[in-house]
Amino acid sequence: MKRQYFFVQTDGFYGAYYENKQPSNMAFIVMLGDNVDDFLAKTAVKWLHRKGFNCLAMSPAKNDYGHHNYPLERFEKAIEFLKSQGNKKIGIVGASTTGMLALIAASYYPEITLTLAFTPSDFVMEGFYRDGLDGMRERPGDNESTVSYRGKPLPYLPYAYRHPEYWQSIQKETKGTGNIACSRKMFDESEKRHPLREEEKICVEKINGHFVCIGAEDDTLWNTCKYIHRMDKRLKTHPHSCTYDMLTYKYGTHFIFPESMLRLALPFGKNFVMGLVFRSAKEHPKECRQTRLYIDEELSRILSRWQNDE
**Is the whole model's pTM more than 0.95, yes or no?**
yes
Please state, in angstroms and rounded to a whole number, the distance separating the CA atoms of residues 5 and 17.
6
Position 63 scores a pLDDT of: 72
Chunked into runs of 10 residues, the chain (310 residues) has average pLDDT values of: 92 96 97 90 96 96 82 97 98 97 98 98 96 94 93 97 97 97 98 98 98 98 98 98 98 96 88 93 96 98 92
Taken in order 234, 236, 239, 241, is the CA torsion positive or negative?
A: positive
Q: Terminal CA-to-CA distance of the chain, rounded, Å?
A: 30
Position 228 scores a pLDDT of: 98
Q: Which amino acid is at 274?
A: M
Q: How far is CA 247 from CA 102, 122, 206, 244, 254, in A?
A: 16, 14, 20, 10, 14
Please state, in angstroms and rounded to a whole number, the distance separating the CA atoms of residues 256 and 264.
14
Q: Which of 115, 130, 131, 42 is nearest to 75 (CA)?
A: 115
Q: Which of 227, 142, 146, 144 is nearest to 184 (CA)?
A: 227
Tell me if 82 sits within 8 A of 89, measured CB to CB.
no
Please state, in angstroms and rounded to a whole number, the distance separating the CA atoms of residues 135 and 138.
9
Position 92 scores a pLDDT of: 98
Please state, in angstroms and rounded to a whole number, the distance separating the CA atoms of residues 59 and 62.
7
Domains, the chain: 4-130+142-155+197-308 (3.40.50.1820)
